[in-house]
Amino acid sequence: MAFTQDILINWTPQETRVAIIEGGAVQELHVERTLERGLVGNIYCGKVARVLPGMQSAFIDIGLERAAFLHVADLHSEDHGNRGGRASDQPLPIERRLHEGQTLMVQVIKDPIGTKGARLSSQISVAGRMLVYLPQDDHIGISQKIGSPEQREQLRTRMQTLTQEASAADGRPAGGYILRTNAEDASDDDLRADIAYLRKTWSIIREQGLKSAPGSLLYQELNLAQRVLRDLVGDNTQSIRIDSQIQYEDLLTFGQEYTPSAMGKLALYRGERPIFDLYNIDQEIERGLARRVDLKSGGYLIIDQTEALTTIDVNTGGYVGARNFDDTIFKTNLEAAQAIARQLRLRNLGGIIIIDFIDMTREEHRDNVLSELRKQLARDRTKITLNGFSALGLVEMTRKRTRESLAHMLCQPCPTCEGRGQVKTARTVCYDILREIMREARQFNPREFRVVASAAVVEMLLDEESQHLAGLSDFIGKPISLQAEPSMSPEQYDIVLL
């Protein structure tokens, strides 16, 4: 059964937040900050900064802080590519297709993540309401979610006729198109209007590209609120509520032109309570940043996100509700499968994901848990590949990553532990201090050593470690005084020579 969804948009001048509600629970969160807008879909006039033949890739300067990355697989075939333009020919290596200083029109396909720059493609696409325009290609693609083969072939035939009409009208090449899911029931007039809009947009981009300097932005993707109407609204959407009068009017103007079918669902929220309080969304955001996720049964998940991959560990916790241990494990894993699918969307976790379900002895239990996970993941708009249980009993999967996760967007590494997730104990810091005083005493001859450290460390040196401190003072023949500094973190200390 398909869940109906409600979309809530919370707008402030500095930030737009979108929550997608399905079955009364938050399933997805999208955040866009005015000063940190995502780059995916933006088109730039780039300049080749460096070609790396060994990696078959190049770094492209598009005016950002870090150079962006372009792999040979993302180069369009006409960019000094195949001889004669035949796809069957062996493509030329990147060093024969690009050279330093060359200008190139490129599009961002992945935002900068962590220390990595943006990922680029020279295969340009411009998204409309029902179509994606591929100005450098000539094929017609159909979304896999659109019905029967017969219907897909019908749509393809209609599109070929419409694109030839458009090409004959303005004398420019027809180009290629991909029909999005919401083109399934579109009329010829709807498709014709989208084609005209996309061709006009591309014409402006191309003209800008001919006269702009390298590093210039030629086209910026729609803002988050506009993308909601274009990409996220479907037949199962019941309502779209936004809490800003100005943005509501802007969305009305935009929607009447590009998504008229969604206009009956758009409403201005006038309630006294903040719009996100309707479903306790701010609390859900806090839970979405936590390492531990509690399940209703008493079990829980532990989610650890690293640069290489994300691991999810399932634990029974206090759940003892089933008749026997096997059933307890099975029911916990089933509930975990549902929770994991939601957490992936809520936290926008991407890349490699390893799930460690509780070990199940029965094959049918493993099959049922995997089937439930597949069923829940089918609601995800993001591309996912899911493998079965490995020899170690782990489930391996990937989820396409195109933007920062919720945690990376809203948080930064802890300055105290520097991202390790733990700090040294007070006793460990005490012993570091004692060793450092010994080292300093061999090189210098001060009147006194003063230790400045956190209150917990100073307290331990005065109490449990006082004997060792006194023994060291006798050994070096110098007094050692202590000073607590509240602003210091547990690992910080300073040794002052007086």
- How do residues 378-411 score in pLDDT, each as one tens digit? 888 888 999 989 989 999 999 988 678 899 889 8
Residue 142's contacts (CB-CB under 8 Å, 6 or more residues apart) are 152, 155, 156, 178, 179
Exposed e or buried b per residue across 106-145, where buried means at least 16 C-beta atoms within 10 angstroms of its C-beta? bbbbbbbbeeebbbbbbbbbbbbbbbbbbbbbeebbbbee
Range 321-327 contact pairs with CB under 8 angstroms and sequence separation of 24 or more: 321/297, 326/360, 326/361, 326/362, 326/365
Produce one character per residue of 456-493: b if its CB has 16 or more CB atoms within 10 Å, e if not.
bbbebbeeebeeebeebbeeeebebebebbeebebbeb
Select from 273, 256, 263 the least CA-distant residue to 237. Answer: 263
Q: Is the pLDDT of residue 87 over 50?
A: no
Q: Does CATH place domain 426-497 in 3.40.50.300?
A: no
pLDDT tens digits along 408-449: 889 888 888 887 788 999 999 999 999 999 999 999 999 999
CATH of 43-219, picked from 1.10.540.10, 3.55.50.30, 2.40.50.140, 3.40.50.2000, is 2.40.50.140
| pLDDT over 90 at 182, yes or no | no
pLDDT reading at 267 higher than 90: yes
* Average of per-residue pLDDT across 89-99: 85
Q: How many residues does the chain have?
A: 498
Instruction: Give tens-digit pLDDT for 276-293.
Output: 998 999 999 999 999 999
Task: Determine the pLDDT at residue 322.
Answer: 54
Spatial contact of 289 and 406, defined as CB atoms under 8 Å apart = yes
Res 327: pLDDT? 85
CB atoms closer than 10 angstroms to residue 428: 13
Q: Which amino acid is at 340?
A: I
Distances 481 to 2, 355, 450 between C-alpha atoms, Å: 70, 52, 5
Over residues 323-333, mean pLDDT? 85
Range with lowest mean pLDDT among 3-12, 17-26, 86-95, 309-318: 86-95
pLDDT digits (tens, 9 = 90+) for 232-248: 887 789 999 999 999 99
Q: How far apart are CA 191 and CA 179, in angstroms?
A: 9
Residue 485 predicted with pLDDT over 80 = yes
The answer, yes or no, to whether residue 321 has pLDDT greater than 90, is no
Residue 81 has pLDDT above 70, yes or no: no
Q: Which residue has the higher pLDDT, 328 or 454?
A: 454
Q: Which CATH number describes the domain made up of 5-37+222-282? A: 3.30.420.60
- CA distances to 41, 183, 236, 333 from 374, in Å: 29, 26, 20, 13
Residue 425, H or E segment: none
pLDDT tops 60 at residue 79 = no
| Residue partners of 286: CB distance under 8 A and separation at least 6 | none
pLDDT of residue 82: 43
Question: Strand locations in 202-253, DSSP E?
Answer: 216-219, 237-242
Residue 86 has pLDDT above 50, yes or no: no
Contact between residue 55 and residue 372 where contact means Cβ atoms under 8 Å apart: no
The pair of structure tokens assigned to 354 is 């390893």
Looking at residue 271, its amino acid is: G
Give this prediction's pTM.
Answer: 0.73
pLDDT exceeding 70 applies to what percent of the chain?
A: 95
Would you state the structure tokens that stand for residue 182, as one six-digit string?
Answer: 């919401």
Instruction: With a cut of 80, say whether residue 181 has pLDDT above it.
Output: no
User: Average pLDDT, whole number, for the chain?
Assistant: 89
More confident residue, 418 or 300: 300
What pLDDT was estimated at residue 402?
67
Whether 343 shows a pLDDT value over 80: the answer reads yes
Report CA 224 to chain centroid distance, whole Å.
14
pLDDT for 2: 59
Report residue 319 as tokens. Answer: 């759940």
User: Does pLDDT of 84 surpass 50?
Assistant: no
